[in-house]
Structure formats: C-alpha cells, structure tokens
Chain A
Amino acid sequence: MTTTVAGTRASHMPLFVAQSWALVMRAVVRFVRQPASWIPGMVFPLLLVAVNSSAMSRVATLPGVVPPGTTFLMFLLPAAIIQGVMFGGISGGAELATDIQTGFFDRLISSPVSRPSILVGRLGGAMAFGAFQAVVFQLILWPFGGDVVGGIAGRLVLVVVAVVLSLGFGALAAGIAARTGQAEAVQGFFPLVFISLFLSSCFFPTELMSGWYQTVAEYNPISVMVDGMRYQVLEGFSWSEAAQSVGVAAIIAVLGLWFAAAGVRKRIAVGG
C-alpha cells in the first residue's frame, strides 16, 4: 500500500497519513476529471453574484447597508464563497455515494486502509476544493470591484472559513451518503441548504428584512458566520470577527464530522 502511492515520499510517512494523502489525491483527480461535478460550483455562485450585484447595486446607496466607498459586490463576496463551498461539499458527498453504489467503498473497507482515512480522504478533497474556490473567486471578482478592505489578512480569513466550512458541508453530505448510499439523496440536501442561505444575511442585509423572517435570519448561525466574513471585506481585518466566522464554521464542521463518522460506522457495520 505505501509504496504504490504516486508522488509521495510514502515510505517515510506514517501509514495513516500516506493512505489519507492517496485518497485525497484520488478525490481531487476524480473531481477534476468530471467537469459536471465542479463546473456548477464554480459558475453558479459567480453568476449569481454578477447578476445580483448588477441588479441590486443601488442597495449600497441605502443608509447603513455598506460603508461609504464600498460596493454591493463586496457585500456579496462572502455569499459567493459560501455557495461555492456548498456546491463542492455536496458534490463530494455525492461522490461518496457513488463509491458506495459502485462498490469501491466496500473494496476500501475490506482493504488494510484505516477507516478514518476513508473519510479524511473524501473530506480532504472537499477542503482542497473549498480553498481553491475561495482564492479563485476573490481573484476573479477583484477587477470588478470585489475589493477586500481587510487586505491580505482579511482575504486569508475568507479562505480559512471556506476550508473549514467545506469540511462541515462535505461531512454532512458524506453522512447522508453513508446512510443512504444514494447520490440522489445527497443532491436532495442541496435545496435545504440553499433555503438556509436565503434565510440569512447571505444575500441581503437583515436590517432591511422584517417580521419573523428577520428574526429567523438574524439568529441563523450562517448569518453570524457571513457577518464576520463581511466585516473583513467591508470594514477591515478584525480578530474577533474572524474568530466568529471560523468558530461557526468549526461548529458546523464538528457536527458534520460526528454525523459523517457515525454514518460511515453504521454502513461498515451493516456491511456496505
């Protein structure tokens, strides 16, 4: 097992790391080779941001929405990243379901591969893609006015949140995949997440909402995370705001991992 992993100094690493690395690489390569799994995650969020920032750019003129000198596009930048991460995470989960359906999963668990590596491999791929998205989106939107007041530090915060959130979404999707073994069930998760993004400060300031909708949106943990990211973009770098974002993402990640691990354990126990 250790010596057949391409491109690694496998024989010098502990087994778990080598196996995880191999599975991460596999996840990444598979992902890259199937454009249908990553193109929506790259194109759709950018399209959404492009359209909404153009359509609703005047929202920036309403009092208190964004600080002077910033644009609605900057307001929407965290939303693009979160959406992209969401797509990527769900694609990754669907991939795991496919592995289960094709029997590759069974092959893995009947091999000497350590159980945690299986999950780490899958999720490592999702995290890599999340980082990639966060970087690329920022680069693409920069020339169009997608500036980040918090500078490099602020930008880094966005990437870190993206990576941690990828872990969380990916894990949740993997948990569903492990329990159902069906890619369709994982895809069905997508609308639910999308709705929860709407019921937050992701696409529009909660100050401009009203009634029960506003209440739900304000208490939505995603709003807390988005607000922290948005602070980096619109106001400047802040440790506390960064911690807020990363913290919420981390909680999602922990819950997701627990959910995924339980699901994988159940599947192995039931017999794949």
Chain B
Amino acid sequence: MSAPILVEDLRRTFDDITAVDGVDLEVHDGEIFGFLGPNGAGKSTIVRMLVTLLKPTSGRARVAGFDVVSQSAQVRSSIGVALQDAAIDPLMTGRELLRLQAVLHGIGRKDGNERSERLLERVGLTEAADRLVGGYSGGMRRRLDLALALMHEPKVLFLDEPTTGLDPMSRLNLWEEVRRLNTEFGATVFLTTQYLEEADELAHRVAIIDHGRIVREGTPVALKDQVGSPTLRLDVPGEQYEVARDLLVQFGEERAARSGRLAVGLDAGATGMRDVVRALDEAGIEVLHMELDAPSLDDVFAEATGRRLEGAGE
C-alpha cells in the first residue's frame, strides 16, 4: 500500500517570506508521525497545504493517494482535520455541529445522527451536547473538534497542535484518545506540535522542522541516540563564567543553554561527571547549581539548530 502522505520538495512563499523551503517526507501507513518545531517554523503552513486549504508555491504532495492540488476534493473526503484554532461555530450546539459535519461529508441523516451520538460519547461531550459551543471550555472545544474530524471515519488524520493551551489533564486525555485511534482504528496520524514531550510520547517517527526546513527525521529513540552524550548543565558566579567554560569544554562540546548557564555534552557519559566535579573543585569554581540530563528532543533540536526548542523550558 502506498504512503498515506507523500511530500516532494514542497515549497510555500508569502510575498518575500519563505515559510516552507523544500520539504520532503513520507508517512507510513498506520503510524503516528510527529512534526515538531517552534512557532513560525512552518508546521501549520505545511498542514494547511496537505489538507488543501493552501496551495503550494511549488512541489508535490499526495494524501491518501490523491494529489492535493488536482484532486483536492478526493483528498478532503479521505482526511479528518482538527486545526490549531478549533474550527467551530460558537452559535451552534455540539450536536448540531456534528450533524452538520455529517452532511458536509455526505453522510445520510440516520447514519449521521448515530455517529454523532457515538462520537459525543467517545469524547465525553454527551452532557454538553445541547449547549452552545460558545460556552465550552478550551478543552471541550478541542474534543469537539476531534469528534468533527472523525465523523466520516477517515483513515488519515491531521492534528495541528491539538493540545496547545490545554491543561495537563486534558492533554493526557487527548494523548490517550490519539493512541486509541491509532491502535484500535488503524488511523494514520499526522501530528504537529511545539511540545517535545508530546512528540516523544506519541509519535512513532518525528520530523523536526525549523525555518521551513526539516532538520532531523527519525524515531525519537534514534534521534536522541544521535545526540549521544548526556548534557551537563551548570550555574556558576558571573565572574567565574569564562574560566568554568574553558574548563568544561575539555570534557565535551559546548551545547546551547539559556543565557548565563553553561551546558556541555559529556563525551564520557554520565560517569564523566566525577572528573568534571573534581576539575571544578581544583579550579576553585563555585557551583551554584548542577544537573545532568539524558538527551531529549530539545537537545536534538539544539544540536541541529543551535537554539532551544522550548526557550523557557530550562
């Protein structure tokens, strides 16, 4: 079976800004594919092109076997979409929206009503179904958006930053639901996110995007292994910063860290910490704070781009 999503040299410019700069990717049938990157990296632009809401400037993309430009209607009938801003009408009730969605996808009334009830139960909105959506919380809107995306039981699902702005509990619930869709229902999921734990937790494979280009691609484990060594992070008094820095780089290469903090990858692994501590001690450097991190996707990102993905995350 050919790839549910196949992208070749996809580009998109807006006036003189290149939002997507030659992206190639292939998503395998039945996998959860994570698209990770900071705000403005081009994630949503790519999603909008793949779901036929935006035309590529150049390049090709096929979704569910159909070309996104010349066969856009077939693409739309094969995909479910939950966009970054939940696309809902605040003046309608949840139930009304689901029923309208059924009609929008050519599902008959009886069938549509049954599916609406099932979906409402599945996303836990049965009780709120007859309330105006304008009164729903952010989490409820996302759940409804997901239900709308699933109405016509698509095999390919696009989730654009599905948990942005949700509280931790709602986020976990949504992760659970996405896993279920994938394992029980066999849906191929294309997920964009700016949260590295989300990609780490959910995705079978991850592509990291920055400034419109894919900078790394692979399974989360493989990507983290590539970064290899753990990161040692250190806070020292300002006047000792340079001395400490010169000392640390003997133990491995310097890594990106937030301002004022030192970070180095330990070539010798976690056991190398002992030597570092001794060396710092001998040099009379005062350690205000120290921590050791196994590599994360943030490290993968930092290694690829020289910046941290979650700027405040440290």
In the complex, is A directly touching B at CB under 8 Å? no
